[in-house]
Amino acid sequence: MIAAILRRMEPQEIDALVAAGLAALDLPADEATRKGVAMHAARLAHMSRLVLAIPLADDIESPEVFEP
Amino acid sequence: MMERIAATDLATAIRAGGVSAEAAVTQCLARIALTGSKVHAFTGVWPDEARAAAREIDQRRAAGEALPPLAGVPFAVKDLFDVAGHVTLAGSKINRDNPPAAEDAFLVAQMKRAGAICVGATNMGEYAYDFVTENQHYGATHNPHRAGHTAGGSSGGSAAAVAAGLVPLALGSDTNGSIRVPASYCGVYGLRPTQGGLSRRGAFPFVASLDNVGPFAATLADLSLAFDALQGRDPADPHQRSPKPGGRVSMIRAARLTGFFQDNATDEVNARVEKFCAAMKVTATAEWPHADAARAAAFMISAAEGGALHLERLQKRAADFEPDRAHRLMAGALQPAAWVQQAHRFRARFREWVREAFRHADVFIAPATPWTAPAHGTATLKLNGRDVPAAASGGILTQPVSFIGLPVIAAPLPRGEGEMPIGVQLIAAPWREDLLFAFANQAVREGALA
């Protein structure tokens, strides 16, 4: 969904989204950072389309990592 | 390029008294000093400690003690493994401020227990998030086969050190291909074992779900020797699992991976893999469904977990990261949780599909990298008719494999005059490293591997 939104968004809207995300994580949000992060975010959004396109049954769980 | 030294030959010579461990280490240090600036494989060399350890081996031999299998053999470690008394840089500027490691990483300790002598730490991509080792803090590692070309990454220094004949063995880490990519570009052997097979304790982390560790060697026999030395149960590593040995296989069934793995390699690389398959009389082919999504999911998980791991450093010291690295990690940290969780759930699904594929083959064959080592600074390369980012795409063929923790040997294919090295991935089911070594041994005997 966000990938689709990113595709539809104007550059200034993407910039605002990235700026808000960086602020939420208390990360620096200067212009160079916002541009660099936006480029990588677009790449991740493209990757997510490939993954989210595959239907997964409700009972598929994440592979176990933590063992009590 | 210097003549490579085989660990097996050197260990035999030292045990027999034909050469002293101190002489072997001295020669190794001289090689590093001589070619160090050309390859730039090392971030730290420790001659005094290495010579002292070598003298101890020589004294043990003089006292009539039976020497362990790697006695006196020099090795190097990727600069993310803790080595007692040294700061673990992990390719970063920030980690310079850390105190020296209090103890050796488990694998470093295992190598030393086997008698091997650590001569130094090797260069790597910053925080292991890299396929090129063009480190802005410590300089770029150069491919020993062609100046100005990448050695691959992120364990580029380790692969280059072995390829240049500086050390016979080195340790690396592989989250998404960081052993296999540099092994392919540098023309050496690299092993990414079954996920959870070797202890990761004392190796600086990157992506907890995917991180793995393993050896590089110039020959298959040396790789096997190093893998044996690294075995050992480490109760302090919660990630380590007990091996589940498989049954006896009378004849190894091999199949070449097509589809994604063929489409994302250049014609030159595909031709060399085809030649390998012909030499090994492998005619079967197989496709793993949705390998493109597996690569994408590994990409997303890496960015998310890496971003989370480094969040505090990014908040406090963003300017001390390489800028592009910081931006990638920040973008990873900003991913919606639902994307990352779906990527993890897809991992379970993909594992089932590939398990099914193993009903029809014991070893899968695929190129390790889409192309031979690109020149330093290459921004984009053509792949499957598209312009793709050269650095990030170096691991496109390794990521779907490590995504589900399969054991892989990256092995160098023979090359003609003027050809750059390229490696092939030999992939087995979990815990079947025995099949990988058996198949690779056969390939070496047939002349199908370098």
Render pLDDT for B265-294 as a digit per residue (tens, 0 to 9): 999 999 999 999 999 999 999 999 999 999
CB contact under 8 A, B328 and A54: no
What average pLDDT does chain B have? 96
Structure tokens at B184: 């392919």
pLDDT confidence band for B162 (50 / 70 / 90): very high
pLDDT at B45: 98
Which of A18, A37, A60 is opposite residue B348, by nearest beta carbon?
A: A60
Asked if residue B310 has pLDDT above 60, the reply is: yes
Q: Is the pLDDT of residue B404 over 80?
A: yes
Q: How many CB atoms lie within 10 A of CB B148?
A: 11
How many Cβ contacts (< 8 angstroms) between chains A and B? 107
Cβ contacts (< 8 Å) between A27 and chain B: which residues?
A: 311, 314-315, 318, 330, 333
Select which of B78, B92, B158, B199 is catalytic: B78
Ranges of beta strands (E only) in B189-312 are 189-192, 213-217, 254-257, 285-286
Closest CA–CA distance from residue A12 to any residue of chain B (Å): 17
A40, A49, A56, A59: best to mutate for the B interface, most B CBs within 10 A: A40
Answer whether residue B318 shows pLDDT above 80: yes
CB contact under 8 A, A63 and B344: yes
Q: What's the pLDDT score for residue B213?
A: 98
CB within 8 Å: B328 and A33: no
- Give the mean model confidence (pLDDT) for residues A32-52: 94
User: CB-based contact (8 Å) between B345 and chain A?
Assistant: yes
Q: Which of A48, A49, A56, A66 is the best substitution to test chain B (most B C-beta atoms within 10 A)? A: A48
Checking if the pLDDT of B245 tops 90, the result is no
pLDDT at B132 exceeding the cut of 90: yes
Catalytic residue status for B154: yes
Kindly indicate the confidence band of residue A4, based on its pLDDT and cuts at 50, 70 and 90. low
CB B222 within 8 A of CB B261: no
Among partner residues B331, B334, B348, which is closest to A62 by beta-carbon distance? B348
Q: What's the pLDDT score for residue B100? A: 98
Is pLDDT above 80 for B55?
A: yes
Q: How far is A13 from chain B (nearest CA, A)?
A: 16
Digit-coded pLDDT (tens) for B17-35: 999 999 999 999 999 999 8
Tell me which chain B residue has its CA closest to the CA of residue A45. Answer: B335
How many degrees, rounded to 5, is the angle at CA B241 between CA B293 and CA B360?
Answer: 50
pLDDT exceeds 70 at position A68: no
- Please check the confidence at residue A61 and state whether its pLDDT lies above 90: no
DSSP B1-45: -PPP--HHHHHHHHHHTSS-HHHHHHHHHHHHHHHHHHH--EEEE
Per-residue confidence (pLDDT) for residue B36, from 0 to 100: 76
Using a CB-CB cut-off of 8 Å, the residues of chain B touching A39 are 327, 331
What is residue B195's predicted lDDT score, i.e. its pLDDT? 96
Chain B interface, best mutation among A33, A51, A65, by max B CB count within 10 A: A51
Percentage, residues of chain B above pLDDT 90: 95
Asked if B380 has any chain A CB less than 8 Å from its own CB, the reply is no
Average pLDDT over residues A2-31: 84
Q: Dihedral of the CA atoms B389, B394, B396, B398 (nearest 10)?
A: -170
Q: What is the pLDDT of residues B184-236, one digit of tens each?
A: 999 999 999 999 999 999 999 999 999 999 999 999 999 999 999 999 999 99
Q: Which of B154, B209, B302, B402 is catalytic?
A: B154
Is B323 within 8 Å of A36 when comparing Cβ atoms? yes
Residue A55 contacts B where some CB pair is shorter than 8 Å:
no
Query: Are β-strands B254-257 and B285-286 bridged in parallel, bridged antiparallel, or unpaired?
Result: parallel
Q: pTM of this prediction?
A: 0.97
Q: Say if residue B427's pLDDT is above 90.
A: yes
Position B248 pLDDT exceeds 90: no
Lowest mean pLDDT segment, chosen from B91-95, B114-118, B241-245, B389-393? B241-245
- The values of phi and psi at residue A28, to 5°, are -60, 145
B155 among known catalytic residues: no
Catalytic residue among B92, B158, B178, B302: B178
CB contact under 8 A, A52 and B342: yes
What pLDDT does residue B90 have? 98
Kindly determine whether residue B334 and residue A18, on different chains, have CB atoms separated by under 8 Å. yes
* Mean per-residue pLDDT, B343-352: 96
Which residues of B220-265 form beta strands (DSSP E)? 254-257
Q: Is the pLDDT of residue B154 over 70?
A: yes
Q: What pLDDT was estimated at residue B1? A: 53
Residue B166 confidence class, pLDDT cut points 50, 70, 90: very high
- Cβ distance B428 to B254 under 8 Å? no
CA dist B366 and B256 (Å) reads 6
Quickly state the pLDDT bin for A6 (edges 50, 70, 90). low
Q: What is the mean pLDDT of residues B392-406?
A: 97
To the query of whether residue B250 is one of the catalytic residues in this protein, the response is: no
CA A26 to CA B212: how far, in whole Å?
Answer: 31
Nearest CA-CA partner of B153 in B41, B57, B26: B41
Distance from CA of B437 to the nearest CA of A (A): 28
A27 and B315 in contact by Cβ < 8 A? Answer: yes
Is residue B136 scored above 90 in pLDDT? Answer: yes
Interchain CB contact of B38 with A (< 8 Å):
no
Under a CB-based contact definition with an 8 Å cutoff, are residues B305 and B344 in contact? no
| pLDDT of A62 | 84
Which residue of chain B is at minimal alpha-carbon distance from A56?
Answer: B346
Give the residue on B whose Cα is nearest the Cα of A47.
B296
Question: Does B2 score more than 60 pLDDT?
Answer: no
pLDDT in tens, B68-95: 999 999 999 999 999 999 999 999 999 9
| Mean pLDDT (whole number) for B388-415 | 96
If one compares A12 and B402, the residue with the highest pLDDT of the two is B402
**CB-based contact, B402 to chain A, within 8 Å:** no
